[in-house]
Amino acid sequence: TAVLFLLGSGPIKGFAVTLGLGVVISMFTAITVSGSLLRMLIHANVVKNSKFFGA
């Protein structure tokens, strides 16, 4: 993404910014949602041994 932004012209720079934001937001969402879902499963006793998941 940084290479596209540094070497690209107008529309390419816009695409690089959009791509970078998409990656960052996707990572944040994946980490947050998977952690919350795992905590819900552990507290609902769906997962019997939570040590496997670092909880």
pLDDT tens-place string over residues 7-41: 999 999 999 999 999 999 999 999 999 889 888 88
Question: What is the band of 53 on the pLDDT scale with cuts at 50, 70, 90?
Answer: low
pLDDT of residue 50: 65
**Rounded distance between C-alpha atoms, residue 34 and residue 14, angstroms:** 30
**Rounded distance between C-alpha atoms, residue 21 and residue 31, angstroms:** 16
Length of the chain: 55
The overall longest dimension of the chain from CA atoms, in Å, is 54
CA dihedral 29, 48, 42, 23 (to 10 degrees): -10
Mean pLDDT computed over every residue of the chain:
88
Given a cut of 90, whether residue 42 has pLDDT beyond it is: no
Residue 17 C-beta-side C-alpha neighbours within 13 Å: 6
